Structure 1
Amino acid sequence: MRKPVVGISYKTYVNTIDKATELVKALADVTEDEKEVEKFVFPSLGVMYPVAQVLKGSEIAFGAQNISPYENGAYTGEVSIESIIDMGGTHIEIGHAERQSIFHETLDMIHLKTKLTLEKGLTPVLCIGERERLDNKSGRKQVLKEQILTSFGEVDAALIEKVILAYEPVWAIGQAEAADAAYVHQTHEIIREIVKEAYSAEAAEAIRIIYGGSVSKDNVYEITTHNDVDGVFIGRFGHDPANYKQILHIVKQVKSK
């Protein structure tokens, strides 16, 4: 049985040490007894070290919103995965739509980051999703298949199941409403089908697929009721620790049935 996941990214909304540490401490406090759901936080890169100190010994994992595709070397301005490991980070967010659209990150670069993350024993949270709503199922499958297979590329097939696939339709990110549940459910079925066809039934059954894109306490129940939805990736609606706790509780209830 796949362990459900509730993750959150603060993007670059929370960038001071005082605010970031206060926020994650509150998050750890309200979820300290919750062990049935995997939890991770992606703080702003500039406050990662103090956040790491606050979360040490807690049930909440943390990691980076981005890394260099290269472990070390002459790559000025990049964040090395070596630093994330040294701080105790365990998860790396890879390929978010904003990284692609604003910073021109390519699928080939996403592949290098995914491969490096897996080789170093960390968990890639690999973001995938179509730029506009595609009601044509085969068209949607083709777009997602290209993203998934190119991002995985030369990755050892035995490591595929360690990836968390974060399905984030670009057209639903930062909107008032998430994608409708039926669309999300069908897409998660498609994604698991792609993994099965490209790798194996075992990998498809083991890999976790979470939904991100305007997730809130009001829509998380409907979104996560499908067996192929293993959790959620929260943005702004989780900045209040009480909201995060409520979302976590709903996911736990749904997935324990």
Structure 2
Amino acid sequence: MRKPVVGISYKTYVNTIDKATALVKALTEVTENEKEVEKFVFPSLGVVYPVAQALRGSEIAFGAQNISPYENGAYTGEVSIESIIDMGGTYVEIGHAERQSIFHETLDMIHLKTKLTLEKGLTPVLCIGEGEQLNNKSERKQVLKEQIHASFGEIDASFIEKIILAYEPVWAIGKAEAADAAYVHQTHELIREIVKETYNAKSAEAVRIIYGGSVSKDNVFEITTHNDVDGVFIGRFGHDPANYKQILDTVKQIKLK
């Protein structure tokens, strides 16, 4: 059985030490000793260290919303994976739509970051998703296949199960409503098909695929009631720890029943 996942990114909404540490401490309190669901947070990069300290000894892991594609060197302004490892981080978010649209991140860069993250023993949370709603399955599959192939590159099949694929349709990010659950379910099936066709059935069955894009306590039940949806990647609707807890409990109820 694939372990269910609930991740959350604060983007750059929570940027002060006091607010960020108070928020993650509240998350540790509402989740207590929950171990059956894998949990991670991506704080704003400026407060990663104090968040790391606040999460010490808890069941919630943390990581970075972005890293340099290069481990070390003359890359002014970049965040090295060495720093994230030194702080105890174990996850890296890679290829978010905003990184691509605003900061012009390319698929080649996404591949380098994915490869580096795997080589250093961290878990890549690799974001994929189509720019507009594609009701034609073949068109949608082709777009996602191109993204996955470019992002994975020559990565060996043995690494694939270590990746978490975050399906985030760009057209649903930051919207009032998530993508329709049936559309999400069908797309997760397509993603698993792509991994099977590209690598093998074992890798396809092992890789975890989570949904992100306006996930809330109101839609998480419907979204996660499908075998190919292994959890969710929460944004602004998880800023309230009580909402986060309700989402977590729903995922646990569905995936571990």
Q: Under a length normalisation based on structure 1, what TM-score does the superposition of the two structures give?
A: 1.00
- Write out aligned runs for 1:1-257 (5 A): 1-257=1-257
Equivalents in 1 of 2:36, 2:212: separation in Å? 20
Quote how far apart the aligned CAs of 1:18 are: 0.3
Equivalents in 2 of 1:116, 1:215: separation in Å? 29
CA RMSD of aligned residues (A): 0.4
Q: Which runs of 4+ in 1 moved over 6 A?
A: none
Quote how far apart the aligned CAs of 1:54 are: 0.5
Quote how far apart the aligned CAs of 1:118 are: 0.1
Q: Under a length normalisation based on structure 2, what TM-score does the superposition of the two structures give?
A: 1.00
Equivalents in 2 of 1:222, 1:55: separation in Å? 30
Which amino acid is the alignment partner of residue 39 of structure 2? K
Ranges in structure 1 where 5+ consecutive residues have no aligned partner? none
Equivalents in 1 of 2:161, 2:54: separation in Å? 30
Q: CA-to-partner distance for each residue in 1:129-176, whole Å, 9 max, x for gaps?
A: 000000000000000000001000021221011000000000000000
Equivalents in 2 of 1:256, 1:111: separation in Å? 33
Q: CA-to-partner distance for each residue in 1:72-105, whole Å, 9 max, x for gaps?
A: 0000000000000000000000000000000000
Ranges in structure 2 where 5+ consecutive residues have no aligned partner? none
What number of residue pairs does the alignment pair up? 257
Equivalents in 2 of 1:31, 1:6: separation in Å? 12
Equivalents in 2 of 1:42, 1:72: separation in Å? 22
Equivalents in 2 of 1:114, 1:22: separation in Å? 31
Equivalents in 2 of 1:51, 1:33: separation in Å? 18
Equivalents in 1 of 2:218, 2:82: separation in Å? 38
Deviates more, 1:117-126 or 1:155-164: 155-164
Which amino acid is the alignment partner of residue 176 of structure 2? A
